[in-house]
Structure 1
Amino acid sequence: MAPLLFITGASSGIGQAMAKRFYDAGYSLALVARRTAEIKSWADAQGLSVSRYQIYSADVADIHSIVAAGEACLQQQGVPDVVVANAGISIGMDTAVRSDLDVLQRTLATNNIGLAATFHPFVAPMQKRGSGRLVGIGSVAGIRGLPGHGAYCASKAAVIAYCESLRGELRASGVKVVTICPGYIDTPLTRQNRYSMPFLMSAQDFADRAFRAVDAGTSYRVIPWQMGVVATLLRALPNRLFDRALSGRPRKHRLDEV
């Protein structure tokens, strides 16, 4: 029986790239997104066998919605071997603007509550089976705060810390928690950025490296590795030097600028 991947945010970007990489490795797919028509069109274009995937409609920002999708997967396809909580949003914010507090709330609901809710239906069944991979998609942006990126950086820092906590909780169960922190990946999300993106890589290259990290059960991986070096150096910088280095850097588009 083919192993099973459950992945959110499968309607575009790295979600689709990861889904295809796992499919090519022999996995069946449980594809989750709000835009199910786009997933279907993509699956048809890729020539995916209809016997090897199912599509679930869910909004990860709605706990009931994403938990229901997970429960439907358990009933229809069984316990996944790998669950990837990939769905996320990235919008700039300015704390002085009242409406941007709503952006922060929405970002945390999607990137953090949604991640935990994605994992929730599968934790107990994986523990009972004694195996599985729960994969959280963080970001190098979660390693240090970037001006204008408060919502996104805070959410991705929380992803990293949450997955670390969960990894400790599940250590004795046979269930592995893998944290993947992408650098700059060429997707529709990053193409809106108005600043330089060092070590930009294709979604397909990212998916290949992420697959290998997940397959190995690696606890934490920055992709590409060069961004891991940069992030480590930035983390080591004293605050006064870090603040000076980031001074004047273009900020991420806010909601009313997108």
Structure 2
Amino acid sequence: MTAAPLAFITGASSGIGQALALRYHQAGYALALVARRTDEIERWRAEQGLDPARVVVYGADVAEPDSIIAAAQQCLERQGLPDVVIANAGISIGVDTAERDDLAVFARILAVNNLGMAATFHPFILPMRARRSGTLVGIASVAGIRGLPGHGGYCASKAGVISYCESLRGELRPFGVKVVTITPGYIDTPLTRRNRYGMPFLMTAERFADKAHAAVAAGASYRVIPWQMGVVAKLMRALPNAWFDRLLVGRARKPRQNADS
């Protein structure tokens, strides 16, 4: 009997990560699910009636490299080398560079969204290269395509994800290891429900997971989901700076961590 393929997913306690976990389980994968809030994953696993033999939960903070690397090593020892690794864990908080306290918030965003992604991939790269197969999936955002006022930390981090995954893709292609960049638009999750501005083409997390799973299975190197946001992003990128700046005048900003609601 052939063993089920294995997907390792970070940030699996809610939102996109949880939807991806369910989609991959439905596709016949065994799961290695990682989050700081392991009790929430365990509760969700029981509610969904998922087979404990196919779903193993690991606790880790991706912002601490030793923590996520330890979880990855536990997965390798207990479940083996994953076929798909999805670095989904991320945070989105508004920042104001004029505020001293927000520099620490900025550092936390980069630690989770950028260093955390690299640390998630790190333990699997050499064994995947040796096996000459495997897929690393980085979850970016359309916010990484152009900078938005009040979103400096998040936009910078997601622009970094896009460039990092592109670099990694070139490094690993000769070894048969794929790197896929998935760039969500507005997805209905607890993270986006705090936004104070309109979210065009809002998509459910479940629908997003279907599209993301299909993109990875098809071997796409880069995919914006939903596709309409890809068109919008290209148009925004093409706008001259003066037009782009005028367009954003008065746009509501993402709430800061310590700001009054």
TM tier relative to shorter chain:
over 0.9
Partner of residue 52, structure 2? 50
The letter for the 1-side match of 2:163 is: A
Partner of residue 235, structure 1? 237
Partner of residue 17, structure 1? 19
Alignment of 1:188-203 (within 5 A): 188-203=190-205
The letter for the 1-side match of 2:74 is: A
Q: Residue 98 of structure 2: SS of its match in structure 1?
A: coil
The letter for the 1-side match of 2:70 is: A
The letter for the 1-side match of 2:234 is: T
- Aligned mate of 1:133, from 130, 135, 138: 135
Alignment of 1:23-34 (within 5 A): 23-34=25-36
* C-alpha distance in structure 1 between counterparts of 2:68 and 2:219, whole Å: 25
- Aligned mate of 2:168, from 166, 169, 191: 166
Q: Residue 85 of structure 2: SS of its match in structure 1?
A: strand
Give the CA deviation at 1:256. 1.3
Partner of residue 218, structure 1? 220
* C-alpha distance in structure 2 between counterparts of 1:132 and 1:201, whole Å: 28
Q: Residue 31 of structure 2: SS of its match in structure 1?
A: strand
* C-alpha distance in structure 1 between counterparts of 2:68 and 2:210, whole Å: 26
* C-alpha distance in structure 2 between counterparts of 1:41 and 1:133, whole Å: 28
Partner of residue 113, structure 2? 111
Give the CA deviation at 1:251. 0.1
Segments ≥4 residues shifted beyond 4 Å? none
TM-score by length of 1: 0.99
* C-alpha distance in structure 2 between counterparts of 1:90 and 1:82, whole Å: 25
- For residues 142-172 of structure 1, the C-alpha deviation after alignment (integer angstroms, 9 at most, x for no partner) is 0000000000000000000000000000011
- Aligned mate of 2:209, from 201, 207, 210: 207
Q: Residue 153 of structure 1: SS of its match in structure 2?
A: helix
Partner of residue 88, structure 1? 90
Does residue 254 (structure 1) correspond to residue 246 (structure 2)? The answer is no
* C-alpha distance in structure 1 between counterparts of 2:76 and 2:217, whole Å: 21
- For residues 59-94 of structure 1, the C-alpha deviation after alignment (integer angstroms, 9 at most, x for no partner) is 000000001001110000000000000000000000
- For residues 173-203 of structure 1, the C-alpha deviation after alignment (integer angstroms, 9 at most, x for no partner) is 1100000000000000000000000000000
Q: Is there any run of 5+ residues in structure 2 with no aligned partner, and where? A: none
* C-alpha distance in structure 2 between counterparts of 1:145 and 1:112, whole Å: 17
* Aligned pairs, number: 258
Does residue 8 (structure 1) correspond to residue 10 (structure 2)? The answer is yes
Q: Residue 135 of structure 2: SS of its match in structure 1?
A: strand
* C-alpha distance in structure 2 between counterparts of 1:237 and 1:103, whole Å: 30
- Aligned mate of 1:175, from 174, 177, 184: 177
* C-alpha distance in structure 2 between counterparts of 1:174 and 1:48, whole Å: 32
- For residues 181-236 of structure 1, the C-alpha deviation after alignment (integer angstroms, 9 at most, x for no partner) is 00000000000000000000000000000000111121000000000000000000
Q: Residue 110 of structure 1: SS of its match in structure 2?
A: helix
Q: Residue 166 of structure 1: SS of its match in structure 2?
A: helix
* C-alpha distance in structure 1 between counterparts of 2:135 and 2:220, whole Å: 10
* C-alpha distance in structure 1 between counterparts of 2:173 and 2:82, whole Å: 18
* C-alpha distance in structure 2 between counterparts of 1:41 and 1:66, whole Å: 21
* C-alpha distance in structure 2 between counterparts of 1:50 and 1:85, whole Å: 22
Q: Is there any run of 5+ residues in structure 1 with no aligned partner, and where? A: none
